[in-house]
Amino acid sequence: MAIKIQSKIKSYSVVNEEEEKAAQAAQASAPSPEAELARVDVVQMHESLERPDTLVGSTYKIKSPLFEHALYVTINDIVLNPETVYEQRRPFEIFINSKNMDHFQWIVALTRILSAVFRKGGDVTFLVEEMKAVFDPRGGYFKAGGIYMPSIVAEIGGVIEQHMKSIGLIHDPELDASTLALIAEKRAAYEAAMRAPSDKVDSAVAVAADAANETSSFPPGASLCAKCNTQALVLLDGCQTCLNCGYSKCG
């Protein structure tokens, strides 16, 4: 059969009939994605899924100035489709324990509701933002690292976020190399300016700075960043710049 070539030939190759037949046979014998999915019988998270006898999980400690005793948050995960390419961990239940019994009722209610949402399946990551948006009318507090927590419920939401990141449900937007380099440069410049000798700095200010350094990994005097809720916003070259996430009011 003759084929008329109407375009310019840019390249060519010799077709080996045996190799072509072998490739076609391999393609025909390869299972389709639908057939592979049916063969594996992938199990998705749903409310009728029975609880296994053994679950894997992690326990996180929360020490808040609003509570006399620490809270211990345990999140247990169920492993779906183990030892297959579709294996994944999903939160299945949550428990919160503490010696403080003043808030026992709402803590039990919260854990039962969260566990029910986990077992329902679907996208459960929305719980993090909902809980982190809860504010205490008495005011929030700063945890270690200079991160502001508006309430104890918000910190429990932060623990759930940390756990979801560890099992791959939530992924942090990674800063590119240029942004990280810029943050490091800005931080070094700010710390160098703060170390400059000044006769106006008295001993009381120095003691306050040392105390601030104990609770925050960022320079003393840094203010709260509206983007990442971390006490890492400093004034440098006339512009407010966050040394944690790179946010800048100057763009």
CB 75 within 8 A of CB 114: no
Q: What does the pLDDT read at residue 73?
A: 96
Say how many C-beta atoms besides its own lie within 10 A of residue 177's C-beta. Answer: 8
- Do the Cβ atoms of 91 and 57 come closer than 8 Å? no
Each residue of 144-200: pLDDT tens digit?
777 888 999 999 999 999 999 999 898 877 666 777 777 777 777 777 776 665 544
Q: Tell me the C-alpha distance between 143 and 5, whole Å.
A: 73
pLDDT tens across 111-159, in order? 999 999 999 988 999 999 999 999 988 888 888 777 888 999 999 999 9
User: What pTM was estimated for this model as a whole?
Assistant: 0.63
Cα of first residue to Cα of last residue in the chain, in angstroms, is: 65
Place of tokens 């046979």: 25
Query: What is the rounded average pLDDT of the residues 27-43?
Result: 63
Specify the pLDDT at position 57. Answer: 92
Distance CA 242, CA 233 (A): 4
pLDDT-based confidence at residue 45 (cuts at 50, 70, 90): confident
Checking if the pLDDT of 28 tops 80, the result is no
pLDDT score recorded for residue 35: 55
pLDDT value, residue 212: 43
Cα–Cα distances (Å) from 37 to 17, 70, 81, 205, in that order, read: 33, 45, 12, 65
Question: Which residue in this structure is represented by tokens 């063969």?
Answer: 39
Higher pLDDT, 29 or 200: 29
